Structure 1
Amino acid sequence: MEQLESLDELRQRIDQIDTELLGLISARARCAQQVARVKLSDDANAVFYRPEREAQVLRRIMALNPGPLAAEEMARLFREVMSACLALERPIQVAYLGPEGTFTQQAALKHFGDSASTQPMPSIDDVFREVEAGAVNYGVVPVENSTEGVVNHTLDTFIGSALKICGEVVLRIHHHLMVGQNTQRQKISRIYSHPQSLAQCRKWLDAHYPMAERVAVSSNAEAARLVKTEWHSAAIAGDMAARRYGLEIIAEKIEDRPDNSTRFLIISTDDVPPCGNDKTSLVVAMRNQPGALHALIEPFQRHGIDMTRLETRPSRTGVWNYVFFIDLKGHREDPVVAAALEEVQLRAAELKVLGSYPVGVL
């Protein structure tokens, strides 16, 4: 009897806390509305989403988090509160590589929250065009996978685009084998998925479906759509695609590497001020001469700047010429980074800063 009374007391306490939370969240939402009015009174074209500010808020929450919830889980909760409050100011329009149910859509929602309005695009080029035209505020595109490497089309598109990188998000990728309600599981002879997903699940497929035809399609979501009404096929896709197309997952987490993850970039027309924990991406074309790579790297090494990625791509302007894509720690406005970039500018045939942006929080 004492245990039941104790449980009842705990429930009353939870109800009281929920009431307090409701009041605090509502107060935060009203404050967000006031922020919108202040911004609009100062500038009719005010920017409502500030990547550097949101990164600072989320990092502060994670640092202050007392538990027992994990810091990242607490940040996810605040991300959704911030997303809903931002939607009161002005809903964010985000284009992503579609169709619905792709990992890119999942990355967009992870970064912007469920209150953002996401719009699927048929190709990476279309995502760039929508942002450039001002039809949406931001775009989300994949740039590299921990298993299969860089997405070359994304890197190549940046060369001819004026858009800036304003953020990044890393998504842990879990692939599942799924079927429609008409599928005869013992007769699966065809498996659809994106080429990279097929490659990321190669060992599992060799062990479990060595005779099944592997059919590459434009996206995992498209694979899920195709198998919905077929009786002899399956798809490799993620949770969101399974829910979107009403499929049953018959094998979970079939990726060959348990740490499989994909990095996505957030693109926009705006530069982002420093937040204190930033990354800078640039593309550099060096003159075709001996020691070019050393001349490119030496200023960063001398200034103590950490280069986190260096990719080489063939240049579109000449045979056997190459451009270098570089990620480094720090913001372009940091004095040390600015000094190194100035030196590289003098040595390079061309240097283009793709953006400085907060290091991904979630």
Structure 2
Amino acid sequence: MSDTSDKLEALRQRIDQLDSDVLRLISERASCAQEVARAKLADDASAVFYRPEREAQVLRRIMELNDGPLDDEEMARLFREIMSACLALEQPVKVAYLGPEGTFTQQAALKHFGESAVSLPMAAIDEVFREVEAGAVNYGVVPVENSTEGVVNHTLDTFMESSINICGEVVLRIHHHLLVSENTRRDKVSRVYSHPQSFAQCRKWLDAHFPHAERVPVASNAEAAKLVKTEWHSAAIAGDMAAKLYGLERVAEKIEDRPDNSTRFLIIGSQDVPMSGDDKTSLVVAMRNQPGALHDLLEPFHRHQVDMTRLETRPSRTGVWNYVFFIDFKGHYAEPHVAAMLEEVRLRAADLRVLGSYPKGVM
């Protein structure tokens, strides 16, 4: 026992020393961040402090250097919070997101910007866009597609009316739980609240476990969780943030029908983002209504070997039976082969707008 006690005591002393070293190094990093802020302000009073491409490069480097035992994403998450706290010393980032508080969109905002960001809930996607356009916030976070249910049309449509740029993306693994309050009579649940997308993502589970319960769609999963607090015969489908915010208990965990259920969110802002080394570009294209229009759009991608990752169509606002194409592809618009491809498409299209080039999601 004495040998074990001596070994544990030595390990604890080693951990204490390492903690002191980590604390000193984080403080040095924070001081360096303050020096960066002073240097930027001395050169330009309207300097931009948050640099999406730089942060992506730092996180990728950390993941490449990591040898464990923590996995790459967990290590990146720790550094994300350090970077978030250091950035707050320079200038706190204000981020609007599709609310209310406790939604997956807020979770995505905190995953991307860290807990030190100031996050502000908005009632609708177009309100997030307006806050960014007005300069009331630095960035916005909006959902764009789910791996189970497809694109969020409202987000795509809002881009057609906005000059806002896409500055980044974040992919969030979506876990749905069945939640109840302390007042819920679990054997008498006759109503389930959730967002329509969540109902669609949990359809099979609900059919098997609550086939006769009324499914009541609401504006958000957070609202569903809030409603359950006031009723004894209802449950909600929502995520971890909503459960914690409203003090609900998980009756069943991870009830989504597909284990890989994920949602992609876009970071919107007013700045152009330089190349990070692993980028994506999004654009919206209106083609002339003529035979071979789709071929004319796609052919330059193939010839210039640009990898298209998504193609969606939406009705145009300029005429009946006219459509626009939303396209994502790998690469940055400043790369020579991408620029050449875009110029060819521009000449063939009725209209083309690059929505933004931005770092591919790191975590």
**Under a length normalisation based on structure 1, what TM-score does the superposition of the two structures give?**
1.00
Structure 1 equivalent of residue 280 of structure 2: 279
What does 1:113-132 correspond to in 2, within 5 Å? Answer: 113-132=114-133
1:343 maps to 2:321: no
What does 1:195-344 correspond to in 2, within 5 Å? Answer: 195-344=196-345
1:99 maps to 2:115: no
Q: Which amino acid aligns with 2:328?
A: D
Separation in structure 2 between the aligned mates of residue 123 and residue 181 of structure 1, nearest angstrom: 31
Aligned-pair CA distance for 1:303: 0.3
1:354 maps to 2:352: no
Separation in structure 2 between the aligned mates of residue 12 and residue 109 of structure 1, nearest angstrom: 34
Which SS does the other structure have where 2:341 is aligned? helix
Aligned-pair CA distance for 1:135: 0.4
Aligned-pair CA distance for 1:2: 0.5
Aligned-pair CA distance for 1:229: 1.5
Separation in structure 1 between the aligned mates of residue 131 and residue 73 of structure 2, nearest angstrom: 32
Separation in structure 1 between the aligned mates of residue 182 and residue 4 of structure 2, nearest angstrom: 46
1:201-231 Cα deviation digits (max 9, x unpaired) = 0000000000000000000000001111110
Separation in structure 1 between the aligned mates of residue 317 and residue 186 of structure 2, nearest angstrom: 47
Structure 2 equivalent of residue 75 of structure 1: 76
Which SS does the other structure have where 1:354 is aligned? strand
Aligned-pair CA distance for 1:69: 1.0
Aligned-pair CA distance for 1:4: 1.3
Q: Which amino acid aligns with 2:350?
A: A
Separation in structure 2 between the aligned mates of residue 245 and residue 68 of structure 1, nearest angstrom: 34
Aligned-pair CA distance for 1:71: 1.1
Separation in structure 2 between the aligned mates of residue 23 and residue 247 of structure 1, nearest angstrom: 39
Structure 1 equivalent of residue 45 of structure 2: 44
Separation in structure 1 between the aligned mates of residue 109 and residue 32 of structure 2, nearest angstrom: 25
**Under a length normalisation based on structure 2, what TM-score does the superposition of the two structures give?**
0.99
1:305-332 Cα deviation digits (max 9, x unpaired) = 0000000111111111110000000000
Separation in structure 2 between the aligned mates of residue 336 and residue 249 of structure 1, nearest angstrom: 51
Structure 2 equivalent of residue 177 of structure 1: 178
Separation in structure 2 between the aligned mates of residue 189 and residue 330 of structure 1, nearest angstrom: 50
4+ runs deviating over 4 angstroms: none
Separation in structure 2 between the aligned mates of residue 288 and residue 140 of structure 1, nearest angstrom: 33
1:35-90 Cα deviation digits (max 9, x unpaired) = 00001111110000000000000001111112111111111110000000000000
Separation in structure 2 between the aligned mates of residue 41 and residue 112 of structure 1, nearest angstrom: 25
Number of residue pairs the alignment of both structures matches: 362
Structure 1 equivalent of residue 156 of structure 2: 155
Which SS does the other structure have where 1:265 is aligned? strand
Structure 2 equivalent of residue 189 of structure 1: 190
Separation in structure 2 between the aligned mates of residue 188 and residue 160 of structure 1, nearest angstrom: 43
Aligned-pair CA distance for 1:169: 0.1
Q: Which amino acid aligns with 1:108?
A: A
Separation in structure 1 between the aligned mates of residue 85 and residue 350 of structure 2, nearest angstrom: 46
Unaligned runs of 5+ in 1: none
Aligned-pair CA distance for 1:3: 1.2
1:135 maps to 2:150: no
1:182-213 Cα deviation digits (max 9, x unpaired) = 11010101000000000000000000000000
Separation in structure 1 between the aligned mates of residue 203 and residue 132 of structure 2, nearest angstrom: 35
Separation in structure 2 between the aligned mates of residue 21 and residue 170 of structure 1, nearest angstrom: 29
Separation in structure 2 between the aligned mates of residue 159 and residue 328 of structure 1, nearest angstrom: 19
Which SS does the other structure have where 1:326 is aligned? strand
Aligned-pair CA distance for 1:236: 0.2
1:138-195 Cα deviation digits (max 9, x unpaired) = 0000000000000000000001100000000000000000011111010101000000
Separation in structure 2 between the aligned mates of residue 105 and residue 72 of structure 1, nearest angstrom: 19
Greater shift, 310-319 or 262-271, is seen at: 310-319
Which SS does the other structure have where 1:84 is aligned? helix
Q: Which amino acid aligns with 1:186?
A: D
Q: Percent identity?
A: 78
Structure 2 equivalent of residue 55 of structure 1: 56
Structure 2 equivalent of residue 24 of structure 1: 25
1:259-279 Cα deviation digits (max 9, x unpaired) = 000000000011100111000
Structure 1 equivalent of residue 110 of structure 2: 109
Which SS does the other structure have where 2:298 is aligned? helix
Structure 2 equivalent of residue 11 of structure 1: 12
Separation in structure 2 between the aligned mates of residue 200 and residue 315 of structure 1, nearest angstrom: 29
Unaligned runs of 5+ in 2: none
Separation in structure 1 between the aligned mates of residue 337 and residue 193 of structure 2, nearest angstrom: 49
1:76-117 Cα deviation digits (max 9, x unpaired) = 110000000000000000000000000000000000000000
Q: Which amino acid aligns with 2:23?
A: L
